[in-house]
Chain A
Amino acid sequence: MRVFLLLLILLLVLDATIFATPIYMAIWQGILVPGHLLSDFYYSMLLSLYTSTTSSILILLITIPIGYYISRRITRRNLLLPVIMLPSSISPAAVGLLLLLFFTKTPLGLIIDNTLKIVNDPKGIIAAQLFLGIPVGVSYFTALFSSIPRSYEDAALTMGFTNIEYLYTILLPMSTRQVFTGFILVFTRVLGDFGASYIIGGGIWGKTVTLPIYLYLVSQLGGIGVLVITLSIYIVSILVLIAVVYQLESMEGHPQNA
């Protein structure tokens, strides 16, 4: 067992070394950031937050009822789940290309793009994020709702609630913490997307450059000072987010779980 502990320590050291690199580089190099790149950074951060929050909320609205339905009605899931998981199993760049093909080369896609303006627009990024995040949401909520004893639902139905009323007025309030965890799971997934967002959004400065795209573009420009600082901010904020989520998860919920 001691060998396993060594492995764990090795993993932690590796993590710390890699993730801390930009932070001490930033300190060592001093903070020398050209003004225009910094304002672009703020824009990218806001754009990332805006698109990820919007798409995460949409994903939850879509995947919660789907997850509930699958958990209740579909017993043979081994054919359905691969199809649902497909977008998150293939490369995000391929997802972006698929969307680009659809919106620029098919009649239906062209009509949608002409009316809604998807390609080269933040809306395109949201569309890409939806595709990538929905599988995560569906699999998470299917598993969540499958794990909640059926007896709650049986009682609610005989008490006079329909399935839909049960889902929204009893089941979700009963599992707020788990729903929040699902939100964070989806949120971190879509926030981190680079490939799909870059291809459908085009990476236009001041319009469709999200945080991961910003990091890539800055590294291409050779702005190492900006890169280490923005990387540091990015890593620290994600770390804080994850830590908060784990803290919430381990906290005691309702006394029933005590």
Chain B
Amino acid sequence: MSGLISIAVTGINAAQAGLLTTANNISNLNTEGYNRQRIIQVSNPTVMTGAGGFGQGTHVVTVSRMYSEALSKQVLSAQAQVSALDTYYSQISQIDNLMADADSGLSPAIQEFFDSIQAVAGNPSSTSARQSMVSGAESMVSSFRSIYGRLDEIEAGVNSQIGSTVNSINSYTEQIAYLNQKIVSSASLGGQPVNDLLDKRDQLIADLNKLVKVETSLNDDGSYNVFVGTGQQLVVGSRATEMAAIASSADPTRIVVGLVGESGAVQELPERLITGGQLGGLLSFRSEALDTAFNQLGLLAASVTQTFNAQHALGMDLLGNIAGDSGFAANFFETSDPVVIANARNATGGAVVSAALSPASYSGTNYYTNLTDSDYRLAYDGTDFTLTRLSDNSKWTGATLADVNTALASDPQGFTLTDDGGTFTAGDSFIIQPSRDMARLFDVNSNISADPRLIAAALPVNVSGITANGGTGSVDSVQVSAGYSVGAGSLMLTYDASAGNMVFPDGSTVAFTSGQAFTINNSGWSGIQVTISGTPAWGDQFTLSLNNGGVEDGSNIVRLGNLQTQNTMLGANATFEDSYAAFVNDIGNRTASAQISSEAQTTLLSQATAARESVSGVNSDEEAAKLIEYQQAYQASAKILEVATTLFDTLISIG
């Protein structure tokens, strides 16, 4: 009889345990990170008698967490990707939207500037046309600057998000370390797993993994080790390593991530090691998209500046000033030297390196720049300097910076390097950013803004036939090249028909062919190409003189306007608009591919989550069924008690 009662009690206890677990499952239906629990119920050992073995009821061995490490890791891995891509996408969408506006983007501002140039070409002596060209230039410059400003804001946002993400990571790793400790001590105390602590720790790892992709390994004592990158420890047992957002030693303007060592010194983590999660997304957005956007924008600004200035310097302003005159504004646009950042770990008091934009090169038809949208690194190994283009690791070497410049001369990159004569120490390195800040440094020459008559619309030199010329020779075009010079007064050319020469006053000659340019180099006049078409008569004379009165001459402004459709960039291989279109295309592509990858990864994540949930998730219908099941088991066991009581009463009544 007592056997019956005790067996019934084990059944009641087990059913009660089942009910408790089911109730817990139901109440945690919406708890993030909760893994459903099941009681593991086994039968009690049989008692052998002469009549055979009698079961002794049941007992609950443990409350088990329905958890699959493999499935959870799949979710983690997909989640890290999704977080990274979503972060990347939401960041790059800002640039994408910046490029979207067809009416306020860079393209219309550039177009309006060139329109205003043509207005001056139509009326070179009109100061109001010149004033509108200055306004056109200023509004183009302010468009560049405003896009730069937006990019700058985005960068500041990225930097502050890196900081706050690192703070959250530290808070998670600390909690994980703390839970590790609790889990180890609880396990050693009761020998039973503490399911809610395990759930909490797994949830923390899932949350951490949304911030940065982590790997975990399980120790024998039940604690987790958490790694980032290629095995850099974040948590080992009950110890967490702090992460820090610090200024990079290679580029102190850049916030990077490092791990705080025992001594408190921060070891920088290379960016490529931090993949996945918000942090990975932020870092890859910054290095792939944001840096490129800065550089592309700056590249365009620097190329406009350099090509314009080179052509502008060859002109004459409305006041008659030309190159070399104190009142002459050679540069239409102002800019500054590219940024050179010394590595913070360079030997103190060492040499200072600076970079200068090279003047635009001349292709035979127009000026162009050789600048690229890449950054460069200059490193000194004690013997040689190596300049590396970071976009593709092309290298230029030399024992001195002058030698590096010589190497650059044959494969120009649009800038040259100099040092201040200080000492270089092996291991010194510098980052050179030829284009990055150029949109910010871009400006219209303030003298020209103040006095648009300084726009050098005309050519410095006029060539005219004398009125007594009998032939049909007429001056077709005059052109000057960089470094040209003008002599005193005027220079007379006399045509010698028998020799086919133009004769200078000093008797020296230059060969003449109708319709073909010949170069003047005589009596202080040089670098001037003249084309005369038609047939001059013997003795016809042409006079070279300074073009002071040529206020209606728009030859130079026409050439400036022409730059719009000429190959002015990337070593004379692209127009301004080509380069801008490539920039927009690049941003569009990156945004679209982030969106597509994010969608694909989200699908993977939901599949992985479904697989994990199929093991660990709580289903309310299932729990309802379990509720009934355990309720009935309870009632059945209780019935046994009732039967046992009835039996007992029966026996009593007999007695």
Q: Do A and B come from one complex?
A: no
B residues neighboring A (CB under 8 Å): none
Residues of A within 8 A of B (CB): none
